[in-house]
Amino acid sequence: MPHPLNSFPPDSGANAHNSPRTGENKAFVPGSGKNVAGRKGPALLEADGLTITYPGAVTALDGLDLEVPDSGITCLLGANGAGKTTLLESAAGLIQATSGSLRVLGTDPGSTNNRLQVGVMLQDGGMPGSARPREFLDYVSRLYPKPRDVRSLLDAVEIDPDTRAPMRRLSGGQQRRISWAAAMVGNPRSLLLDEPTASIDPVGRERLYDVLRTERERGVSMIIATHLIEDVESLADYIVVVRNGRVALTGTPEELRPRNTLVVRSAREMDTGALLAALPAGSTCQRTASDSYHVEVPTGIDPAVMATVSSWCGQHSVPPDLSVGDLRTALWSALRGGVQ
């Protein structure tokens, strides 16, 4: 049976070689260097000017500068093609940098040290369809010096340890959960998870959230790549939004939650100039969807601003459907290019 790509046993793959470069404006995710249980050490991931270009001059990562702490859950959010998978595959030692540098736990990606300490779950690959879940994980566990208990992991992801069904007969969601278990079976210090909730139904997703939170409490640090804002809202201690191969936004959920944005929903087109004339100087209004406007007020959203906008809506026959911007508002703005 071939080595599973999802689990990255310590003796497989070649080390990536990256040329050095120092990033001048590295995005710093709060918490770097302050690790769980008082542990201090290198960041989970540190990229300086990381550029990866595929054949055909397709640039997946474009001078990316980023530092992610070795603690908690960092959600890497981006649209399809933003560069999330490329970053995780590079961190796993599968892809070499075209230029710039990347360090994982202070060493080269894919090093023997990292293969012992970092569990990896990719979107595809490494799942032998003819193997049963338990025999597959038993095999993977023997590649590590201090593996987790296979039966307990299968119980955690609600897969019957005694099932005789081969993995090719399992649902997509069940296979994703087994992939996660394969990433965990080596008892890693950290995890790199690419779209772990893909193909999983809403109930299964909530259960996987609980499993990931439990691992966080055990001290396992994680980077989770996703295009689902729901994953970020449910799991993230730190957030990195990637757009066009670069970092668009970083911070904790509390830091990124907007305090000066009012969302106005209206199926009718609004005269934004007239609305802005009634608001404090420096306010802006941007249409973000066919039925949604974001009103930015530099002094913040207070009862007086809410009353002003509500009154204006009433005077212009616009139903006053108002809400203060939340984390989702900030993330959508970053994904669409509204945050630099």
Give the neighbor-by-neighbor strand order of the sheet with 284-289: 284-289, 292-296, 261-265, 321-324
What pLDDT was estimated at residue 138? 96
What pLDDT was estimated at residue 339? 46
- The one-digit pLDDT tens for each residue of the chain (340 residues) are 333 444 445 543 333 333 333 334 566 665 443 333 334 578 999 999 999 999 988 999 999 999 999 999 999 999 999 999 999 999 999 999 999 999 999 999 988 888 899 999 998 766 889 999 999 999 999 999 999 999 999 999 999 999 999 999 999 889 999 999 999 999 999 999 999 998 888 998 999 999 999 999 999 999 999 999 999 999 999 999 999 999 999 999 988 888 888 989 888 888 889 899 999 999 999 888 888 888 999 998 999 999 999 999 888 888 878 988 888 888 988 888 754 3
CA distances to 18, 194, 287 from 119, rounded to whole Å, are: 21, 11, 42
Element (H, E) at 296: strand 292-296
Architecture of domain 27-254 in this structure: 3-Layer(aba) Sandwich (3.40)
CB contact set of 122 (below 8 Å; sequence gap of 6+): 5, 6, 85, 88, 89, 92, 179, 194
One DSSP character per residue, 47-108 reads EEEEEEEETTTEEEEEEEEEEE-SSSEEEEE--TTSSHHHHHHHHTTSS--SEEEEEETTB-
- Taken in order 197, 200, 206, 208, the sign of the CA dihedral is negative
Distance in angstroms (rounded) separating the CA atoms of residues 177 and 158: 8
One DSSP character per residue, 235-290 reads H-SEEEEEETTEEEEEE-HHHHS-SSEEEEE-SSPP-HHHHHHTS-TT-EEEEEET
Q: Which residue type, as a one-letter code, is found at position 109?
A: P
What pLDDT was estimated at residue 33? 37
What pLDDT was estimated at residue 270? 87
Q: With contact defined as beta carbons under 8 Å apart, do 123 and 101 qualify?
A: no
What pLDDT was estimated at residue 4? 42
How many CB atoms sit inside 10 A of residue 31's CB?
21
Intervals of CATH 3.40.50.300 along the chain: 27-254
Element (H, E) at 193: strand 190-194
Phi-psi region of 34 (alpha: psi -120 to 50; beta: other; left: phi over 0): beta
Q: With contact defined as beta carbons under 8 Å apart, do 261 and 329 qualify?
A: yes
What pLDDT was estimated at residue 30? 55
Closest CA to 66 of 309, 184, 196, 242: 242
Distance in angstroms (rounded) separating the CA atoms of residues 129 and 134: 13
CB contact set of 234 (below 8 Å; sequence gap of 6+): 209
Intervals of CATH 3.30.70 along the chain: 259-324
Closest CA to 331 of 264, 280, 255, 278: 255
What pLDDT was estimated at residue 327? 87
| Secondary structure letter of residue 189 according to DSSP | S
Question: Which residues are registered as beta bridge partners of 75?
Answer: 224, 239
Q: Is the pTM of this model over 0.85?
A: no
> What number does CATH give the domain 259-324?
3.30.70
174, two tokens: 């069940």
